[in-house]
Structure 1
Amino acid sequence: MTKYPNIFSPFKVKNMTIKNRIIMPPMGTNYAGQNGEINNDHIKYYEQRAKGGTGLIIVENAAVDFPLGSNGTTQLRIDHDSFIPALYRLTERLHKYGACVAMQINHSGASAVPERIGCQPVSASNIPSKTGGAIPRPLEKKEILDIVEKYGKAAKRVQTAGFDAVEIHAGHSYLICQFLSPIYNKRSDEFGGSLENRARFARMVIDSVRAAVGPTFPILLRISADELLEGGNTLEDTLKILEYLNDEVDIFDVSAGLNDSLQYQIDNMNLPDGWRSYMSKAVRDKFNKPTITTGNIRNPEIAEKILAEGQADLIGIGRGLIADPNWVSKVKNNQEDMIRKCISCNIGCAGHRIGLNRPIRCTVNPDTINEDAYKNKKVNKPTNVVVIGGGTAGLEAACTAAEVGCTTFLFEQKPYLGGLAKEISKLPDKNRISYLPDYLVKRAEKLKNLIIYTGTKADVKAIKNLKPDVIVNATGSKPLLPPIKGLLERIDKEGEKLYSIFGLLNNIDKFKFKNLEGKKIVVIGGGAVGLDVVEFFAERKAKVSIVEMLPMLGRDLDVITKLSMMNIIKENNVDVLTETTLVEVASDHFKVKKDDKEQNLYFDYGFVCLGMRPENSGLEELQEYFKDEAVEVINIGDSARTRKIIDGMGEGRDILLTLEKIGAM
């Protein structure tokens, strides 16, 4: 008997029976073809999640109107019958694993990008869907009726392609939401003004879809239950609006947020598991209809509790299923300790797709399409691999090498594994990052051909004795501390109040329990690490200043984290000094310079976070010693170039390419 009876109970609505309560909500991927057609890699991506036991997969939003309603560079389309055959191949494949499959249909409205669609976007009014976005033109009534009809035709295609249900997207700053929300809808006709009028377009779309698919085909409606912006719909407003939309909706998919509150739509790292389940409960209680809840749900205990307490009927795990498509099967088979949990970093998923128009990737999962297919290959001869460094890049390389049959040795100088990820996770708002090193250590412990030496510095002689075929240098990075007057002699020194990021982390408990209200904190460096320090102290009511040499803060941050950080800075009145250079360090102040003018910034505690630099001091010796041997020496992760965890993890998995290069695969 499973310890999660609610998670693994079936759920029936209309003519669809879902085998368990875990669903994959719709998330854009940029995996589709240039013309909006689904392709083989795209199908394989969804297949991995069906194979992993997911009960219902809601395929990402498909445009009902092209190009006007398209919001992505390679978004799926459902505006023409020609897309049905490939989509049928998708549903046919996923059904083989017992998964139910729905598709979300959508019109982007003002969220479309003019350069991509070749014309001005449309909306309820002339209000951009986000700050700085394109100004749309208001739709005329005839155009509204035409789009309503297109929704119905698209839903019929969904049904014809073998899907089990259809979801209408009425949230997240897309067209229907642009009619529902008072932020966007400034109309004075029958589609604007009162709640009933603002709900009219959505009501017509639902009726059009129902007429197209018939009475027994389930319809889901995704909503932003609370827009979490001043002047937007609150949860109470949405509950009133849904009185006009309840009929013919079978499941409410309860989300939150708009484009300008994106950190609540695509959850920021520091939001707790299941944080928005109170919203789905409110909808469920009022309308007595099934609801889906989402929101950083990583732990099965939380999912079970939400279901048991009647806060929702179905649990949406989105990025968590990108990170580990086998989440459901691992929970079912008592392998929870081996779940590769999403750390909510938003770098490879939202950061790639929204910020950079790239196909999605994942920090913790180096292959979102093929998953564990590499394990089916084995080395064709005895092969020894030595990995130096037990951070995330080194652990991924060591585990991957061992999983394909290499005898693998891992050296870590510290008494514990996890590297910088383990250290940064000591910050309370970054604690989810610890999921990754914790998972990698558990994965390593299960591999009998992986021998780990902690508290051990790797030297050439010891490595030579292991007869390596491949040596992986993954020794990480250290803080960048330039030769600024007064810096090196004071930072992290006894009796001083000047710290590097490691100085803070090594004293984190002291700072966590100290009364910091009103204390002057000055942070030098406006990159990711400096902003993490700002977040820590600003939330403790310190008086924080941040100094950055560039014109902007957080240049390399993903879109979600950057939006969240800028809100923290605004809400906590953080003093921001950009285009400002550190010139000298004293025990109680920094001397900085801007436009040839110098000033002193006095602090109770000062932090210098100017980035990280590679720590690879032993690499040259390794390369020199083994240059005449048949040994491949590679340098990966931050010891090659300081970047993000996602880059080191990818290079760790790429040990497979090195093994192929030496003819071992």
Structure 2
Amino acid sequence: MTTPETPDVLAPAVLGPVKLRNRVIKAATYEGLSHKSLVTRDLVDFHVAYARGGVGMTTVAYCAVAREGRTDRHQIHWTDEAMPGLRVLTDAVHAEGAAVCAQIGHGGPVANPKGNGAPALSPTKHFHATTLSWAREASVHDIRRVTEAHAEATRRAVEAGFDAVEVHLGHNYLASSFLSPRINHRTDAYGGSLENRARFAREIMRAVHDAAGGRIAVVAKMNMDDGVPGGFWLDEAIPVVQWLERDGTVDALEMTAGSSLLNPMYLFKGDAPLKEFADVMPQPMKLGVRAVGKHFLRSYPYQDAYLLQDARQVRAAVRLPMILLGGITGRPVMDLAMREGFAFVAMARALLREPDLVNRLRDDASTPSLCIHCNKCMPTNFTGTRCVLVDRGTTRRETWGKPAGYVA
């Protein structure tokens, strides 16, 4: 299954300053389980299940660095009130022997202006069809403020007991939208050439690296392909990751794809659950999804390791440790990633279906994943992310008398 030169995916490994018990990471999937930007018992239980199920590290997604950067009004952002609950979460995961990572970022044009009570930000003015609103152009002051907010989020992540931060540079969130020539039409130092469009992302990573101070690991999650004509693509992604490597600000890279703004299904592959999305949408979006959703939520053929072909090009261009994301379902594809030179694998949908899959793979390497890639888990992030084929009971969000900032 492996050779002496190929790492064992289930053996301990080092990520920056952190030792993980294995090379399997629960990928960031917005849980939809925080409430009023605070940790809930459901959110703790969600991540404890993956820790108990055997992953080396689980990723809490998504923790916005600023209030206006949330894509949902209940998402966690780094306030004093949120800190005690975040410490409850990290302690609970650590008690199961796993590490825990906080995904940090700013939603930019993907953010929800109505829920946030503030306009979304974009490199240049942009109309967001989903929210039927205009995102305003980010000023240089906004850029500096959001950069510092990433640093402050990192300092708070250290304080809350996280082992790593994953900086969101993908999916046309704010930093990713600056990288995209389709969205970024600026004429100042943050627009035009690739070097200029990458400036914001590099400044963010420098701020995060300095704030981490070697105490926790720093991962960059970045697009290889926006999945839209005229967007950011592999030919530009490769020089950007080479700059990040040269800057010395990143412990590992996780390459992703797709645009939450323009083509969200490009990342997931498999079926597009149009009916299920329409069912959870308010009017008039419900009618819109039913009428024209097939033009926005496109289906793409699924295959295991579907991002490997492009990620392999990045792997050949840098020496940084890399995390392979996309279609990681079982031991054969994990071992393939190790043979291809990836240091870690990140799993999402397969673990939503079976949180204990890693433990069962350890017991029997031939264990197949039960995930059928129907993607009906995607719309559940409005009500609590889960596999619809598994009954996990009802949510519990009433106050429970735990420390301030923790909602059960």
Q: Same fold (TM over 0.5)?
A: yes
Q: Which residue matches 1:490?
A: none
Q: Which amino acid aligns with 2:212?
A: V
Q: Which residue matches 2:231?
A: 232
1:133, distance to aligned residue in structure 2 (A):
5.0
1:83, distance to aligned residue in structure 2 (A):
1.6
Which of 19, 22, 25 aligns to 2:24? It is 22
TM-score (norm 1): 0.52
* Distance change in 2, residues 1:27/1:329 (3 Å): same
1:72 aligns with 2:76: no
1:319 aligns with 2:349: yes
Q: Which residue matches 2:399?
A: none
Q: Which amino acid aligns with 2:22?
A: N
1:325, distance to aligned residue in structure 2 (A):
0.5
Q: Which amino acid aligns with 2:375?
A: N
1:361/1:368 contact within 8 Å kept: no
1:44/1:369 contact within 8 Å kept: no
Gaps of 5+ in 2: 272-300, 396-408
TM-score (norm 2): 0.83
1:43 aligns with 2:73: no
1:228/1:256 contact within 8 Å kept: yes
Q: Which residue matches 1:329?
A: 359
Please list, as runs of the form range in 1=range in 2, the aligned pairs for 1:81-230 lying within 5 A after superposition: 81-128=80-127, 133-230=132-229
1:230 match: secondary structure: coil
Cα separation, 2, equivalents of 1:117 and 1:155: 22
Cα separation, 2, equivalents of 1:130 and 1:299: 37
Q: Which residue matches 2:404?
A: none
Cα separation, 2, equivalents of 1:49 and 1:342: 16
Q: Which amino acid aligns with 2:252?
A: I
Which of 338, 361, 367 aligns to 2:392? It is 367
1:215, distance to aligned residue in structure 2 (A):
3.1
Which of 378, 391, 403 aligns to 1:350? It is 378
1:265 match: secondary structure: helix
1:93, distance to aligned residue in structure 2 (A):
1.0
2:59 match: secondary structure: strand
2:25/2:56 contact within 8 Å kept: yes
CA deviation digits over 1:279-329, x for unaligned, max 9? 33222221101111121222321111121232x221111011111000100
* Distance change in 2, residues 1:17/1:368 (3 Å): farther
2:104 match: secondary structure: strand
Cα separation, 2, equivalents of 1:244 and 1:127: 28
Cα separation, 1, equivalents of 2:305 and 2:332: 11
* Distance change in 2, residues 1:210/1:25 (3 Å): same
1:280/1:292 contact within 8 Å kept: no
* Number of matched pairs: 361
Gaps of 5+ in 1: 371-665
* Distance change in 2, residues 1:8/1:194 (3 Å): same
1:52/1:327 contact within 8 Å kept: yes
1:322/1:368 contact within 8 Å kept: no
Cα separation, 1, equivalents of 2:152 and 2:103: 13
Q: Which amino acid aligns with 1:351?
A: P
- Residue identity (%): 29
Q: Which amino acid aligns with 2:362?
A: K
CA deviation digits over 1:543-589, x for unaligned, max 9? xxxxxxxxxxxxxxxxxxxxxxxxxxxxxxxxxxxxxxxxxxxxxxx
1:132, distance to aligned residue in structure 2 (A):
7.4
2:154/2:212 contact within 8 Å kept: yes
Higher relative contact order (CA 8 A, sep 6+): 2
1:169, distance to aligned residue in structure 2 (A):
0.1
Please list, as runs of the form range in 1=range in 2, the aligned pairs for 1:303-318 lying within 5 A after superposition: 303-310=334-341, 312-318=342-348
Cα separation, 1, equivalents of 2:133 and 2:375: 24
CA deviation digits over 1:316-349, x for unaligned, max 9? 1101111100010000011754x552211111x2
1:42/1:369 contact within 8 Å kept: no
Cα separation, 1, equivalents of 2:187 and 2:69: 23
* Distance change in 2, residues 1:222/1:129 (3 Å): farther
Q: Which amino acid aligns with 1:360?
A: T
1:261, distance to aligned residue in structure 2 (A):
2.4
Q: Which amino acid aligns with 2:16?
A: K
Cα separation, 2, equivalents of 1:283 and 1:316: 17
Q: Which amino acid aligns with 1:76?
A: I
Q: Which amino acid aligns with 1:296?
A: G
Q: Which residue matches 1:263?
A: 265
CA RMSD after TM alignment: 2.2
Please list, as runs of the form range in 1=range in 2, the aligned pairs for 1:387-402 lying within 5 A after superposition: none
Q: Which residue matches 1:448?
A: none
* Distance change in 2, residues 1:241/1:15 (3 Å): closer
Q: Which amino acid aligns with 1:324?
A: E
Cα separation, 2, equivalents of 1:138 and 1:274: 37
1:305 match: secondary structure: helix
Q: Which residue matches 1:286?
A: 317
Cα separation, 1, equivalents of 2:340 and 2:111: 39
Please list, as runs of the form range in 1=range in 2, the aligned pairs for 1:557-568 lying within 5 A after superposition: none
CA deviation digits over 1:198-250, x for unaligned, max 9? 11111111111122120353110001111121101111111122233332111
Which of 300, 312, 331 aligns to 1:300? It is 331
1:74, distance to aligned residue in structure 2 (A):
2.0
Higher gyration radius (CA) = 1
Q: Which runs of 4+ in 1 moved over 4 A?
A: 1-5, 129-133
Q: Which residue matches 2:64?
A: 63
